[in-house]
Amino acid sequence: MNKLIFLLICATFLQAQPKTENAERIKQFYDTSLTNGHSYEWLDYLTNRIGSRLSGSLGAERAVAWTKSALDSIGLDKVYLQPVKVPKWVRGSKEFALIETAPGITFNVPITALGGSVATPSVGLKALVIEVKGIEDLAKLGRKKIEGKIVFFNRPMQANLISTFAAYSGCVDQRYDGAREASQYGAVGVIVRSMNLRLDDFPHTGAMSYGDQDVSKRIPAAAISTNAAEKLSYLLKLEPKLKFLFRQQCKTYADVWSHNVIGEITGSEFPDEIIVVGGHLDSWDLGDGAHDDGAGVVQSMEVLRLFKETGYRPKRTIRVVLFMNEENGLRGGNAYANSALTNGEKHIFALESDAGGFTPRGFSFSCSNDEFAQIESWKPLFKPYLIHYFEQGGSGADIRPLKNKYNVLAGLRPDSQRYFDHHHAENDTFDAVNKRELELGAATMTSLIYLYDTYGLVNSLPSALKQ
């Protein structure tokens, strides 16, 4: 038989056979996740027994040890730790802040130091306040109006955007770059409205950066709760000369060693083709990192467990990677990608869950149009599970360094409406995660990984099979 014809027949067979078998497998993954899942129980342990897991903390190290032992218990072919050096920033004692509208007339307000910030003087920092709606206001105001003051970044997340992640992207520059920018105009500190669409009393931390700014120029930065931001803004209108006092004792130490946690099922036919599923093991220190990203960690572990539990033997190598240090450095994601490159590993597909443990709606993909066409052909398989969102654009921070022109990256996209109510705040706790929503996410991820295991990449087929 002509080789081309043979290949075409194979291709036809591959295209024709799937539907029923695929649908049955996928149903099995959902059924098992919902009736005999481990993700929720694992999340209970990770959040309630271990708790917060900031890089370089004891919690992070306990999470490394425990997830490794949990992966050991499910009978994978390999489980190992990958060393990675991470930053170590420590909050110190609880922050304190107040608004003083006149001598002796004060209002306490909830704040939290931004991750990476320097401390205030130990007695606190007290100054006049200037409110801005964003970094671009600084140049308009100029040094004269800013010097010696605390800059209050108060642009709220845009409520009419349907994706709360889009609203977050439109605001987070205030948090990340605000201190560095304000310092160039002589500001002495910055207070940033929490990245939260809801009005409440939780300050939300998150990464900030001074870039390569000289140490002498670095000014302390804190987030203030949305309710308190509204109050400060209101009081500033009544009394522009009010003062703001805040104290924080945070400190950056030398980098320390930590680990990515990795487990894998070796592929039975194409062991060299690697499919990654992961989330990040570190979390901010305020809550228990339940949605961010305990959910992604346990869902990723569950993908491999569901394969084992349902007796599905993958053709390709399926690797779960629990990344260290997504929140304030991305060292785990970079270390993993560097190691993959050094070892000449062929990563065909990677999926990250790092958008909360809410009801899954679908995925976003970083891929070519060819690859996306294949993905779209799988949509009907997901319809019974109300998975409808398949769009190009974006995957996950930890896997992004793996991108090359051949492979496909994806991110799970759960319902985003409640995510920023909890993100990086004290209330990112186990009770905010619904068992079924978490389990549906795990099954949805498993189904996509299964389809990539079954069909591989469009672009890696021999050229005769394409068209």
Amino acid, single-letter form, for residue 82: Q
Catalytic residue, candidates 95, 326, 426, 439: 326
What region does 8 belong to: left with phi over 0, alpha with psi -120 to 50, or beta? alpha
- Structure token pair of residue 27: 């149903």
Q: Which is nearer to a copy of itself, 258 or 429 (CB)?
A: 429
Q: Which is nearer to a copy of itself, 301 or 440 (CB)?
A: 440
- Supply the minimum distance, in Å, between the C-beta of residue 380 and a copy of itself: 13
- Supply the minimum distance, in Å, between the C-beta of residue 434 and a copy of itself: 5
Q: Which is nearer to a copy of itself, 161 or 397 (CB)?
A: 161
Q: Which is nearer to a copy of itself, 334 or 359 (CB)?
A: 359
Return the half-sphere exposure (C-beta side, CA atoms, 13 A cut-off) of residue 243: 14
402 vs 340: CA distance, rounded Å = 8
Q: Which is nearer to a copy of itself, 344 or 393 (CB)?
A: 393
**Cβ-count burial of 11 within 10 angstroms (0-12 exposed, 13-18 middle, 19+ buried)?**
middle
Phi, psi angle pair for 213, to nearest 5°: -60, 140
Counting runs of H as helices and runs of E as strands, what totals does the chain give? 15, 16
3-state helix, strand, coil in the chain (%, to 5): 40, 25, 35
Amino acid, single-letter form, for residue 18: P
- Supply the minimum distance, in Å, between the C-beta of residue 423 and a copy of itself: 14
DSSP state of 78: E
- Structure token pair of residue 452: 């990539």
For this structure, is 239 an active site residue?
no
- Contact footprint for a copy of itself (CB under 8 A): 30-31, 34-35, 159-160, 162, 164, 197-198, 359, 361, 384-386, 388-389, 415, 417-418, 421, 434-437, 440
- Supply the minimum distance, in Å, between the C-beta of residue 156 and a copy of itself: 10
Q: Which is nearer to a copy of itself, 102 or 199 (CB)?
A: 199
Contact 337, 402 (CB under 8 A): yes
- Supply the minimum distance, in Å, between the C-beta of residue 233 and a copy of itself: 17
How far apart, in Å, are the Cα atoms of 462 and each of 17, 115, 252, 273, 378? 20, 48, 52, 15, 21
46 vs 290: CA distance, rounded Å = 8
- Supply the minimum distance, in Å, between the C-beta of residue 371 and a copy of itself: 22
Q: What burial letters (b/e) apply to 176-189, b meaning 16+ CB within 10 Å? A: bbbbbbbbebbbbb
- Supply the minimum distance, in Å, between the C-beta of residue 162 and a copy of itself: 6
Q: Which is nearer to a copy of itself, 169 or 359 (CB)?
A: 359
**Cβ-count burial of 162 within 10 angstroms (0-12 exposed, 13-18 middle, 19+ buried)?**
exposed
Please give the positions annotated as active site.
Answer: 326
